[in-house]
Structure 1
Amino acid sequence: MEKGNKQPLLSSLERDEDKLHSLSGRVTTTTTSFFATFKADSNDIPPITGVRDFFREFYSEFKKLWYLAGPAIFTSICQYLLGGITQLFCGHISTIAQAAFSVEDYVLGLFSYGAMLGMGSALETLCGQAYGARHIDMLGIYMQRSMVILHMTALIFMFVYIFAEQILNLIGQSPEISKATGKFSIWMIPQLFAFAGIFPVSKFLQAQSKIMVMMVISAVVLVLHTLFSWLLMLKLGWGLVGAAVVLNASWWVIEISQFLYVVSGTCGRAWSGFSWRAFQNLWGFVRLSLASALMLCLEMWYFMVLIIFAGYLENPKVSVDAMSICMNILGWAVMVAVGLNAAISVRVSNELGAGHPRSAQISLFVAVISGFLMGLVFSLILIFTRDQYPSLFSKDKQVGDLVSALTPLLAISLTTDSIQPVLSVAIGAGWQGVVAYVNIACYYILGIPLGLILAYKFDMGIKGIWWGMISGTVVQTCVIFWMIYKTNWNNEVSKSCKVI
C-alpha cells in the first residue's frame, strides 16, 4: 500500500518541478531580453547582465540626470511663471484684460516663443555633441550663429505683432478681444528680441552643465517681477501697459545677466570672443534650426488651437479665460517636463558625442520614469482641488465653474504631456526632421480634425476639441516610444560625429 502511493506522489513532484523549471526559464528569458536592450558600449564598458547591474547603472545615471534636471526644471518654472504671474494679476483687473493677455501670450506669444525656442534648440544637438566630443572651442561659434539667425527671425515676427489686431479679426476672433490684444501686442515687441538672445545663451550654458547660474538669475528675476507687477498693474493702475513694461523688463534682465556671465571668462575655451566664423556655414545651421523649430512649434501650436476655437464658442470671453487658465496650469507642468527634456537632451547628446550609447539609453529610461511619476502626482493634486484652485485665477464664477468641469481633461493632458517632451530626445540625437513629420500626422491630421468632429458634430464643445487633441498626443507619444525602442544607439554615435 505504501509503495503504491509513492509513485503518484513522485510523479506529482516531478510535474511541479518541470513547471517550476519552465516558469524559471520564461522569467530568465524575459529578464535577459530586457537587459539585452541595454547593450555594452563599443568602448569596452561591461554589459548589464542582471538586476544588480541594472540598478547600479540606473542610480548612477539618476544622479547625473537630476544634477542637471533639478536646476533646469526650476529655471523653466521660474521663467514660465513670469507670464503666469502676469496673467494672475490680469484676472484681477478685468475679464477683457485677462482675455487680451491670454490671446497674446498663448497665440501670438506662443507662436513666436515656440519658433524661436525651437530654432535655439538646434544648439542642444550641436553644442551637446561638440561638448561630449571635447570640441569645446566650437560652442561659442555655434551660439553666435544661433543669435544671428534668431535676431533675423525676431525682425520677421515683429510684423505679426504689429498687425495682430487685423490678423485676429481675419480669423474671426471677437472684435473686442482682437482690439485689446492688438494694442497689448505692440507693447510686447521688445520681448521678441529678448528671446533671440536668451535661447542661444541658455542652450550654450546647458551643454556645459552650467545650470545653477541660470537658476539663480531666473529666481531673482521672478521675485522682482512679482513685486513690480503688483506695483504697476494694481497699485498704480497701469493695467495691461504695466504688464507689458514689467514682462519685457524681466526677460531683458535675464538675457543681459546670462550674457554677462558668458563673456566674464567663466566658460573657458567655450567662449573666446566674437568671431566672423559665426557667419560661415549659416545655411546648414539654418536647416537644422528650422527642423528643430518645426518639431517644437508643431507641439506648442497644437495647444494654441484650443484658445483659438474657444473664441468661436458661445460667451467667448468666459471660454477663452477658462481655457487660458487650464493652459497656464498645463504649461506649469509641461515646464517641468521641458526642464527634464533639457537635461536628457544634454545627457544624450553628451554621451553620444563621447561614444557612450548605453549611457544615453539609460538616461532616457530614467527620464521617462521620472516624467511619468511627476505627471501623475500633478494630476491627482488637481483632481482633489478642482473646486478650490480656479478661484486663484479669476473672480468670475462662470469661469471658475468651467475650469472645474475641464479639470479631468486637464489631468489626462498633464500625465501624457509629462512624458511626451521627455521622449522628444530627438533634440539631443538630431532627429528633429523625422519627429516633425510624426507631429504633423498625429496632431494635425488626426488630433485636430477628430476634435472638431467631436465638438461640432456631436455637440461636445470645447471638451470635444480637447478629447481629439488628447488622442493625437497619445498616438504621437506611442510612435516616438516605438522609434526609440527600435533605435540602434551605436549607429547614433556614428551619426553624431557627422553632425559635428
Structure 2
Amino acid sequence: MESAKSNELIQPLLVQDSALSTNSREKYIPAEGSGGDLSSRVWTESKKLWHIVGPSIFSRVVSYSMNVITQAFAGHLGEVELASVSIANTVIVGFNFGFLLGMASALETLCGQAFGAKRYHLLSTYMQRSWIVLSICCFMLLPFYLYATPVLKLLGQPDEVAELSGQLALWFVPMHFSFALQCPLQRFLQSQLKTGVLVWASLAALVIHVIISWVFVYQFDMGVIGAAVALDISWWVLVLGMLGYTVWGGCPQTWTGFSMQAFCGLWEFTRLSAAAGVMLCLENWYYRILILMTGNLKNATIAVDALSVCMGINGWEMMIPLAFFAATGVRVANELGAGNGKAAKFAAKVAVIQSTVIGIIFCGLILLLHNQIAYIFSSSSQVIAAVNKFSYLLALTILLNSVQPVLSGVAVGSGWQAWVAYVNLTCYYVVGIPAGIVLGWFLDLGVEGIWGGMIVGGTAVQTGILAIITIHRDWEKEAENASRNIQKLSCPIPDLLS
C-alpha cells in the first residue's frame, strides 16, 4: 500500500522524461545481490558505501562547522549573543533549512533510481525542477525571518534574546536562499558518485569563513552581526563552488544544460518533494523545539545556552549518520533502479551496522569527556556545569541518532517518504513532545525531563518502527516497482531551449 502510494507520486515524473542512449557509460556498477562469501560481499559494499560516506562526512562536518564557528564567536561576545545566535541559526534558519533539505531529498529517490537505470540525463532535469520548487518555497518561508522577534516572544523567549535573534534572522535571509540551490546540487552530485567536489568546495568555504568571521567580528568591530554576514558569504561560496563544477564540465553526461522540461510536471514533483519535506523536517524540527521549550524554564538563558552547546555537539557528530543517510539513500536507490532488490537490502544492512558502531564510539567519548566538552563553546562556569549535567542524555541521543537517519535513508532511497512522514508525526509530536512536557513541567524535572521524554517517547520508538518496516519489506517487489516506473519513460516534449 505504501509502495503504491509512493509510486503514484514518482510515476508521473518519470513518464514525462525520456531515456538516455543505452550507450552511455558511467562508473557505477550494480552490486550482485548474492554470490561470494559474506566477508567479500561486505568489503565490496563497504567500498561503494564509503565512496559516498567519506567525502560526505567531510563536507557535512565542514559545513556544520561553519555554523559552530559562528556560534563560538558569538559565545565569546556574551551569553545573550550566544543564546541569540543559537535561536536564530538553530531554530529560525534550522526550521526552514529542515523543510528545504527534506524537499530536496526527493532527488535522492529520483536521481538515484534514474542513475542506477542509466537514464543519466534525467538527473539534470530533476535538479532544475527542484531548484524551481525550492526557490518558490524560500519566498513562502520568508515570514519566519521577517516576524521572528514577535514569534519568539510569543513562544516565551526572554525579550533581549528575542530582539537580537530577530535582527540576526534578517541578516540570515541571503543564506536562506542559498539552500534552494545547495540542497539539490549536493544530492545531484552524490547520486552519481561525484563526491570529491563536495570536499573541495566545503573546505574552501570553511577557510574563507574562519578568515572573514575574524575580520568582521574583531577587525571591523561588527560584533554578532558580522558573524552572521560571514556565514551568509561562506554558504554562497559553497554553492557557487558546486554550481561551477556542475555547469562547467564536471558532469558531462548528467548535466545537459538548462531545459524547459524542468517546468513540466512541477505539480507532481512538488507532491513528492512535499512528502519528503514533511518526513525530514519533522525529524529536523524535533530537537529545535526542545530548545524553544527550555525558554519557558527558570534561568532560561543558562538553560538555552547549555542545551545549545549540547545540540551543537550532537549536530556536529550528526554529520556522520547524515552522511550515512545520504549514502544509504543513494545505494538503495541505485540498486533498486538497476533491479537488484537483494543488493539494496544488503546495502541497508551494511550501512546500519557501520553507522551504529561509529555511534557507540562517540557515545563513549561523550561519557569520558563529559566535564570538558563545553569549553569549546563557552567560558561560563554555569553553562559548563549545566552541560556536564546533561552529558548522559547527549550520549544517548548520539547513540540513537546513529541508527535512525540510516533507516530514513533506506526510506528515501525506496520512495517511502509519504508513509514515513506519518510515522514521524506520530512518534515525535503525538508521543515524544507530550512525554517531554509531562516529565519536564508536570513532574518538574526541567530540561532533563523534557529531553529524556523526547528521546524515549519519540526517537527510540520511531527508530524501532523504521527498523521493523525495513526488515519486513519485500525487496524484490520494491526493485520491480522501481524498474517498472523507469521503463515507462516516454519521449519528452520539445525542448524550447535546445
Tell me the TM-score normalised to structure 1 length: 0.89
Aligned partners of 2:31 and 2:340 also within 8 Å: no
1:190 to 170, 174, 182: 174
Once the two structures are overlaid, the 10-residue window that deviates more, 436-445 or 235-244, is 235-244
CA distance in 2, matches of 1:499, 1:231: 53
Structure 2 distance, partners of 1:346, 1:46, is 16
SS in 2 for 1:257: helix
User: Which of the residues 83, 89, 94 maps onto 2:67?
Assistant: 83
Give 5+ residue unaligned stretches, structure 1. Answer: 1-42
Q: Does 1:490 align with 2:476?
A: yes
Matched with 2:454 is 469
**Match of residue 364, structure 2, among 380, 393, 399:** 380
Report the alpha carbon displacement of residue 265 of structure 1 after superposing the two structures with TM. 2.0
Q: How many equivalent pairs are there?
A: 455
Contact 2:435 2:450 in 1 (8 A): yes
Partner of 2:254: 270
The answer for the alignment partner of 2:424 in structure 1 is 439
- Aligned partner letter, 1:431: W
Secondary structure of the residue that 1:216 maps to in structure 2? helix
Deviations 1:297-321 (A, max 9, x none): 1001110111001111111111111
Shift of 1:478: 0.6
Residues 414-456 of structure 1, C-alpha deviation per residue, up to 9 Å, x if partnerless?
A: 0000111011111111000111111111111111111111111
8 Å Cα contact 2:66/2:209 also seen in 1: yes
Q: CA deviation at 1:240?
A: 1.5
User: Is it true that 1:234 corresponds to 2:218 in the alignment?
Assistant: yes
2:116 and 2:31 map into 1 onto residues whose CA distance is 18
- Amino acid paired to 1:296: L
Query: Which moved further from structure 2: 266-275 or 409-418?
Result: 266-275
* Matching of residue 393 in structure 1 with residue 377 in structure 2: yes
Q: Quote the Cα distance in structure 2 between the aligned partners of 1:219 and 1:152.
A: 29
Instruction: Give identity over the alignment, percent.
Output: 41
SS of structure 2 residue aligned to 1:380: helix
- 1:47 deviates by 4.1
Of the three residues 74, 94, 98, the one matched with 1:114 is: 98
2:313 corresponds to which of 315, 329, 345? 329
Gaps of 5+ in 2: 1-29, 487-498
Deviation, structure 1 residue 234: 3.0
Tell me the secondary structure at the aligned position of residue 269 of structure 1: coil
Q: Distance in 2 between matches of 1:490 and 1:235?
A: 61
Contact in 2 for aligned 1:333/1:418 (Cα 8 Å): no
Query: SS of 1:172's equivalent?
Result: coil
Once the two structures are superposed, the pairs formed by residues 247-326 of structure 1 within 5 Å of their partners are 247-326=231-310
Q: Runs of 4+ in structure 1 displaced over 6 angstroms?
A: none
Change (3 A) 1:243 1:491: same
Asked whether the equivalents of residues 33 and 340 of structure 2 are also in contact (C-alpha less than 8 Å), the reply is no
Q: Sort the Cα spacing of 1:364 and 1:349 in 2 relative to 1 into closer, same or farther, 3 A.
A: same
Q: Quick one: which amino acid aligns to residue 461 of structure 1? A: G
Aligned-partner Cα distance in 1 for 2:40–2:398: 30
Letter in 1 for 2:138: A
The answer as to 2:441 corresponding to 1:456 is yes
Cα RMSD, aligned residues only: 1.4
Quick check: which one's helix share is greater?
Answer: 1
Q: Does 1:131 align with 2:115?
A: yes
Query: Larger radius of gyration, structure 1 or 2?
Result: 1
2:106 partner letter: A
Structure 2 match to 1:351: 335
Q: Write the distance in 2 (CA, Å) between the matches of 1:271 and 1:63.
A: 26
* Number of the residue aligned with 1:12: none
Q: What is aligned with 2:4?
A: none
User: Contact 1:126–1:499 at 8 Å: present in 2 too?
Assistant: no
- TM-score normalised by L of structure 2: 0.89
Shift of 1:155: 0.7
Q: Give the residue type in structure 2 aligned to 1:196.
A: A
